[in-house]
Structure 1
Amino acid sequence: MTEYVNQLSGGTPLIGAPPAGAEAAVWSLDTTLAEVGGFRLDDALPVLDAAERERAGRLVRPGDRQRYLASHLGLRVLLGGYLGLAPQEVALTREDCPCCGAPHGRPAVAGGGLHFSLSHSGDLAYFAFAAVTVGIDVEAVPGAAAVADVMTSLHPAETAELAALPGEERRVALARVWSRKEAYLKGTGAGLAFGLADPYIGAGPAPAQVPGWLLRDLAAPPGYGAALALAVRH
């Protein structure tokens, strides 16, 4: 199933109630916009916290800084809307890393209440919000060199599926499988610590399902693949 994606624009968004149960709210953003969710990027720094401002200050290239400010401003606008807070009042923290236990794991809202995930690629950002653990990823369709570099890092069955496709289809399929796998790994909090081989998620038209998770492809513009991973409570 392909999930519907809301679009966050320059104006103030109509956000609605936070998602409940096994549902997720998904948004996309064109990070080249000069205004996001009713806030101008020129005025974004006071909305961010100290860690976000420090990170933005270390980005030398204007395009990187623009994308960072737009995506984090958008995240705060949406979190604030769901939580009933002003964007600058949203307190962000980090969960403990599932690999080493240190506090540099999955980003979270201090005090809980809503799970979220953020991803950006090129000039596009995706956001997911849920009552359960969630991961999201968007990937631009890679070039042939990137395909060759990444293919052998995947599950052997995924590598075989990609190898069976002609060049252009292979590039599109890699964006698809990469976004599915990254969404799942962001959801678990492990990231790339254990590599990309496991679990098998598949490069075909629909993702293979992983126990304890619901994987969905997301609608995306031409030239991108996007996916969502949602924890299943039993």
Structure 2
Amino acid sequence: MSGPGDAAVTASAGAAGGRTGGPTSPLRIRDWPGAPVGPLPDPVDGPHVWLVRMSGRGTAPGRAARPGGGPGGSCAVGGDVPSPGVPWPAPGPGGGACVVPDVSVLGPEERRRAAALRRPEARLRYVAARFALRGLLGAYLGVPAGRVPLIRLPCPGCGRPHGRPALAGAAGAGLHFSLSRSGSLALLAVAHAPVGVDVERVPGPRLAADAAGALHPEDQAELAATAAPARPAAFARCWTRTEALVKATGEGLSGPSLGTVRLGAGAAPAPLAGWRLVDVEVPPGHAAACAVRDPRPPGA
């Protein structure tokens, strides 16, 4: 993907996204091209999900941004946090171009969270994902990325302002979004209703077994009946469905849904009244899911 010392958002050659054949088919993703290109999909037809491939293995202070040299190419920027005002290398005809994230578009809270991350790699990837999210939302709103009005809604459990991220004002009524990161991957999701997305690396057998105890009893039983070699991937499917749902509701993993709502560990999510839950196609070794509020009966 990217070479040593990279700290950038790597853009693939813009594969088209959209729904597959049926309501239980995995949701195809769009590769994030570094900046919105062409007409944006209507949130009413969503959810729509973009895959952001990030590098960020740390760089030596003082190195300048440099474009990559072809497919899988990359850019690097010196220091622990990308420098503001670095130009975006244009995507090449074969893909593999990159975009250096501009930290100046982030808000004060985003910068504080970035600074709190100890590992430079994690800090760079956080900035890259937030930069991509702001670029996408800014394109929908017709405003610069730095002027996207991000807020936190009240928590449905305690009422404090640490619930689901949202857009302030009238813009937030018809455009909902979610962001998830796992290593060098990030997913951006938009929809016309509350939406949550989650991507995770498939864990090892021991971690999957330990964490499965937090799931619904029927999901635990389904995992126990799954052949041992396939169990970690099945767990990852169920876990990402769970995280997508609690991100969409704003309750988080400390809310009542964890362990009380059955979402399934099989090839397709279990139906859930009031929600459309779909798996998301991601690179091998990962699992991902998206949940969007839907008043229609499951399967309608």
TM-score bin (small chain):
over 0.9
SS of equivalent residue, structure 1 residue 209: coil
Measured in 2, the distance between the counterparts of 1:15 and 1:59 equals 35
SS of equivalent residue, structure 2 residue 42: coil
Q: Which runs of 4+ in 1 moved over 3 A?
A: 33-39
Show the counterpart of 1:13.
36
Show the counterpart of 1:3.
27
Show the counterpart of 1:25.
48
Measured in 2, the distance between the counterparts of 1:15 and 1:4 equals 18
CA RMSD of aligned residues (A): 1.9
Query: Does the 8 Å contact 1:59/1:65 carry over to 2?
Result: yes
Q: Which runs of 5+ in 1 are unaligned?
A: none
Deviation digits for residues 123-142 of structure 1 (CA, Å, limit 9, x no counterpart): 11001001111111111100
Query: Does the 8 Å contact 1:119/1:137 carry over to 2?
Result: yes
Measured in 2, the distance between the counterparts of 1:105 and 1:186 equals 9
Flag the structure with higher helix content.
1
1:91-170 alignment runs, 5 A limit: 91-111=149-169, 112=172, 113-170=174-231
The amino acid across from 2:243 in the alignment is E
Show the counterpart of 2:252.
191
Measured in 1, the distance between the counterparts of 2:189 and 2:262 equals 23
Deviation digits for residues 119-165 of structure 1 (CA, Å, limit 9, x no counterpart): 11121100100111111111110012211211111111111111122
Query: Does the 8 Å contact 2:176/2:192 carry over to 1?
Result: yes
User: How far is the alpha carbon of 1:66 from its aligned partner?
Assistant: 1.5
Measured in 1, the distance between the counterparts of 2:38 and 2:32 equals 10
Give the greater-gyration-radius structure (CA).
Answer: 2
Flag the structure with higher strand content.
1
The amino acid across from 2:159 in the alignment is G
TM-score normalised by L of structure 1: 0.92
Show the counterpart of 2:94.
none
The amino acid across from 1:104 in the alignment is H
* Higher RCO structure, 1 or 2 (CA under 8 Å, sep 6+): 1
Measured in 2, the distance between the counterparts of 1:98 and 1:15 equals 37
Query: Does the 8 Å contact 1:28/1:127 carry over to 2?
Result: yes
SS of equivalent residue, structure 1 residue 146: helix
Show the counterpart of 2:287.
225
Measured in 1, the distance between the counterparts of 2:164 and 2:41 equals 20
TM-score normalised by L of structure 2: 0.73
Query: Does the 8 Å contact 2:246/2:255 carry over to 1?
Result: no
Measured in 1, the distance between the counterparts of 2:167 and 2:143 equals 12
The amino acid across from 2:148 in the alignment is V
User: How far is the alpha carbon of 1:227 from its aligned partner?
Assistant: 0.6
Show the counterpart of 1:210.
272
SS of equivalent residue, structure 2 residue 214: coil
Measured in 2, the distance between the counterparts of 1:103 and 1:23 equals 26
In the comparison of the two structures, how many residue pairs are matched?
231
Q: Which runs of 5+ in 2 are unaligned?
A: 1-24, 56-73, 77-81, 89-98
User: How far is the alpha carbon of 1:34 from its aligned partner?
Assistant: 4.1
User: How far is the alpha carbon of 1:15 from its aligned partner?
Assistant: 5.4
The amino acid across from 1:5 in the alignment is I
User: How far is the alpha carbon of 1:194 from its aligned partner?
Assistant: 2.9
Show the counterpart of 2:100.
40
Change (3 A) 1:15 1:3: farther
The amino acid across from 1:40 in the alignment is V
User: How far is the alpha carbon of 1:21 from its aligned partner?
Assistant: 2.7
The amino acid across from 2:263 in the alignment is I
* 1:181 aligns to 2:242 (yes or no): yes
Query: Does the 8 Å contact 2:152/2:163 carry over to 1?
Result: yes
